[in-house]
Amino acid sequence: MSINIETLQSVASQYPLPAVKFTYGTAGFRTKADLLEPVMFRMGLLAALRSKATQASIGVMITASHNPVEDNGVKLIDPMGEMLKDSWESYATSLANCRAEDLGSALEAIVKETGLDLNAKSCVCLARDTRPSGLKLAEAVIEGAKCIQKDYQDYGILSTPQLHYIVRCINTNGQYGEPTEEGYYRKLSNAFLKLQIGDQAKLGVKVDGANGVGADKIKQLQKYLGNSVNISVFNDGTSGKLNDKCGADYVKINQCLPEGIRVQPHEKCVSFDGDADRILYFYIGKDNEFKLLDGDKMSTLIASFIKDLLSKANLKLNLGVIQTAYANGRSTEYLQKSVDVPVSCVKTGVKHLHHKALEYDIGVYFEANGHGTVIFSDVAVEKIKSYALLSHIRSKEMSELLDFINLVNETVGDAISDFLVIETILNRKGYNLNDWNSMYSDLPNRQLKVKVKDRTVIKTIKAETETTSPEGLQEEINKLVSAVKAGRSFVRPSGTEDVVRVYAEAETRSLTDELAYAVANKVYDFAGGVGPRPQA
C-alpha cells in the first residue's frame, strides 16, 4: 500500500496554511480556533501514521483546556494513554507548517524515516471538549485520517482524561478497563464505593465546572455513585462562558473564589479546568479567608497516604514525588522532611512529570496548578498483588491499595479521578479540608503574566528555574530574591499563551507581591514588554 498522493493533494488543497508558524508546545498546538483547521487536517494525517507505526489506536484530543473559548487546540495521545513521543512532536511541528503541495513528500519522508508499515491496521480515536469550534475541527481531523486509512472512531464530547483512558483500554484489549465512557464511570465508581468507610452520606461538594466539559461529566458520574456523594455543579455551561472568571486556572492565579458559586464557610468546593484534567480544592475558613488546596497539597496527601499503607504492610517500594518550579517551597520541604520521600523538579508540562515519574515504583506527580496523577509500575503492582494474597494482616492494606490503583487514571491528570482519590483519602483519614490544609502552611505566592514582543527571547535552564537570556536578567532576579526573606522567583515563557510567566514566593504576602511585581518589571525591561507596565 502507498499513500494516494493525488487524493491527498486534492483534499489538502481545501486546507491551505494561514501565515502563522505553528509549534507543538507544552500541550500540543493551541491558538485561535479559526486558524486551526489546516493543523487539524494535518494532525489527522499524522495520527494515522503514528497508529500504523505503533500498530495501535492513537488518540486526537481537540481542546484548548484552560484557554479562552475562542481558542482551540489539539494534542495526540500515544498507545498507553500517554502524551505523544518526543521524536514525533517534531514531525507534528513540521507537518503543521507544511504547504498542501508538499504534504505527500513530507509524509513519505516520515514513512521512510520511521520504517512504518503502511499496510498495518490502524485507528484514530478522536474526541473534543465543549468549544463551539470543536465540531468543524473534528471534521478536519477525520478528513486527514481518511487520506491514510478508513478506520477512525469519533467519541464526540469527552473530557481529555476520558479519551486518554479509552485509548489505553483499547490498546490493552480491555485489561485497563472497558473502552467506553460508561466503562470509565463504572471502573472509578466501583473502586470508590469499595474504599469508603463510615457515614458516606455526609459527603457534599460544590463543583465549579469552568462552564466546560467536566460539569456534565461529573453529573454523569454522580449517577454511578448513588447516595454516597452529593455533588452540586455550578458554572455548568448553561449560561456562563468557558473559563471566564471561573475554573481551576482562574482560581489558582487569582487565589479567589470563582464567580457563579456561593460558598459558606467550611463548605467543600472544587474547581475543574475547561477539559477537566485539572482540579483544585478550596474553602472559606472561619476567618472568612479564601483557602486554596492546590496540586502540591494533593501530592503531599496522596504520597503520605501511600507511604503509610506501604509501611503498615512492610512492603518496600520506591515511592517518589515529581513537581515543577511552581511547587510551593513548603510543600517540597514537607515531602522531604515529614513524608520522607525523594522529590524531583522538572520542566512545566505533564509529559515531563509523567516521564520522570516512570523512574519510580510508584510516582506521584502534580503541577501546582492541579494537574497530576499517580503511576504504579508493573513491578509495584505485582508486589502489591502478591502481598494482598498473603493470609496475614498486611494483606488488608494491600487489597485496599489495589482498589486504590483502580481509582487512579494513570494515563494523565484527571479532575474526576483525582477528586475520587482525594475524597477517598480524606474519608479514610477522617479529615476535613481544614485538617488537610493544616498538614503544612504554604508560603504566600504570586503568579503574574507579562506581555512581551517575542516571548521566545526568554531562554531557561535547570528545570526553568533560571534564565540564560536575555543577558543580565537572571542577575537582576537574583538581586531581588536575595533581598527578601524566604524569597524565590523565576520566569519562563508560557507554552500555551503568548505571555511570560512570573512566579514569586516569600515569607509574607506583601514581600511576595513586591518581589513578583519587581521581577515582572525586569522582564518587561529586558524582554521587550508591550502595553502597560506590570503594577499591583
399 marked as binding residue = no
Under 8 Å between Cβ of 18 and 42 = no
Burial 293-329 (b: 16+ CB within 10 A, else e): bbbbbbbbbbbbbbbebbeebebebebbbbbbbbbbb
275 marked as binding residue = yes
CB-nearer residue toward ligand G16: 192 or 272: 272
Under 8 Å between Cβ of 36 and 63 = no
367 marked as binding residue = yes
Distance CA 294, CA 302 (A): 12
**Inter-helix orientation angle 394-407/181-195, to 10°:** 150
DSSP 295: H
CB-nearer residue toward ligand G16: 28 or 79: 28
**Least Å distance between CB 259 and ligand G16?**
20
**Least Å distance between CB 496 and ligand G16?**
3
CB-nearer residue toward ligand G16: 210 or 269: 210
Distance CA 514, CA 447 (A): 12
Nearest to 95, CA basis, from 47, 26, 151, 152: 47
CB-nearer residue toward ligand G16: 179 or 349: 349
Distance CA 273, CA 218 (A): 13
273 marked as binding residue = yes
Give the residue numbers marked as catalytic. 65
Q: Is the peptide bond before 16 cis (omega within 30 degrees of 0)?
A: no
Under 8 Å between Cβ of 277 and 413 = yes
Contacts of 406 (CB under 8 A, 6+ apart): 187, 188, 190, 191
Under 8 Å between Cβ of 29 and 94 = no
211 marked as binding residue = no
Under 8 Å between Cβ of 191 and 406 = yes
Provide the residue type at 172 as one letter: T
Residues that bind ligand G16 (CB under 6 A): 26-27, 65-66, 273, 277-278, 348-350, 367, 369, 371, 494-497, 501
**Least Å distance between CB 378 and ligand G16?**
25
314 marked as binding residue = no
**Least Å distance between CB 368 and ligand G16?**
9
**Least Å distance between CB 413 and ligand G16?**
8
Cell numbers given for 126: 478522536
Distance CA 504, CA 517 (A): 9
Strand-pairing partners, residue 76, are 60
The phi and psi torsions of 313 (rounded to 5 degrees) equal -90, 0
Under 8 Å between Cβ of 508 and 38 = no
Per DSSP, which regions of 267-336 are E strands? 269-272, 279-284, 290-293, 319-324
496 marked as binding residue = yes
493 marked as binding residue = yes
494 marked as binding residue = yes
CB-nearer residue toward ligand G16: 305 or 366: 366
**Least Å distance between CB 242 and ligand G16?**
12
CB-nearer residue toward ligand G16: 171 or 243: 243
**Least Å distance between CB 73 and ligand G16?**
8
DSSP 320: E
Contacts of 365 (CB under 8 A, 6+ apart): 299, 321, 322, 323, 350, 353, 354, 356, 357, 372, 373, 374, 375
CB-nearer residue toward ligand G16: 277 or 442: 277
List binding-site positions for Mg(2+): 65, 273, 275, 277
List binding-site positions: 65, 273, 275, 277, 367-369, 492-496, 501
List binding-site positions for substrate: 367-369, 492-496, 501
